[in-house]
């Protein structure tokens, strides 16, 4: 079964309500992320996997990008989160921007 990754479906799969504001934000994120369609279907797996480390893939409150973050504080969990995200980025050729002082990355687009 294939899920069509519309902005509405992405919101639902990432655990967000489909409201006018969140839908508009997701549409801006898709438009603002070069090559989004090349890795979009892998975002759901990324979201599922980073949950093991207290992480999520979510909407940024400050920029029109998706973010990957963890609230984990234990060094081993943070390290495992970072390693998994790094492997995912290399595999799907995705550009990230690290938020200074946080275990958060913005997904900038396909490299």
DSSP 8-state code for residue 54: T
Say what percent of the chain tops pLDDT 70: 96
Closest CA to 34 of 11, 61, 65: 65
What is the SS3 assignment for 107? strand
CA atoms of 14 and 56, how far apart (whole Å):
8
Tokens of 80: 């495992």
Cα 14 off chain centre by: 9
- For residues 80-92, average pLDDT: 96
CB atoms closer than 10 angstroms to residue 35: 15
Sheet holding 94-98, edge to edge: 55-59, 66-70, 104-110, 94-98
Flag whether pLDDT at 14 surpasses 80: yes
Q: How does pLDDT run across 27-73, given as a tens digit for each residue?
A: 999 999 999 999 999 999 999 999 999 999 999 999 999 999 999 99
């Amino acid at each position: 079964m294939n899920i069509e990754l519309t902005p509405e479906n992405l919101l639902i799969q990432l655990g967000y309500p489909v409201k006018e504001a969140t839908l508009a934000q997701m549409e801006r994120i898709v438009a603002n992320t070069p090559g989004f369609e090349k890795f979009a279907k892998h975002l759901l797996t990324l979201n599922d996997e980073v949950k093991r480390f207290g992480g999520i893939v979510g909407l940024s409150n400050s920029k029109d990008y998706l973010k990957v973050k963890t609230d984990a504080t234990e060094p081993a969990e943070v390290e495992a989160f970072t390693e998994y995200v790094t492997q995912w980025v290399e595999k799907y050729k995705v550009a990230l921007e690290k938020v200074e002082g946080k275990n958060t990355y913005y997904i900038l687009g396909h490299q």
